[in-house]
Amino acid sequence: MVKADVRYGRKHRLMAGDIKDMKKANYECPSCGKTKLKRKSYAVFECANCSAKIAGAAYAPTSKR
């Protein structure tokens, strides 16, 4: 867990830390299959291997729903 810049409340600090971890993580690219998909901006992900650009959820390429 990454330390977050959130005050007042353990639940909010944990949620903010989880979001920071999701933003910095590498994901599997649906085009080439390698774990090189990285978040570039809000809901935009780009693969470092094949340069594919994918629109996804805010912090991860797919949503939990």
- The predicted-structure confidence for 2-49, as pLDDT tens digits, reads as follows 555 667 888 988 888 899 999 999 999 999 999 999 999 999 999 999
Number of neighbours of residue 21 by Cβ within 10 angstroms:
13
Residue 62 belongs to a domain: no
Tell me how many domains the chain contains.
1
Structural domain range at position 48: 10-55
3 state SS of 20 = helix
This prediction's pTM: 0.78
Residue 2 belongs to a domain: no
Q: Please give the single-letter amino acid code of residue 4.
A: A
Residue 61 belongs to a domain: no
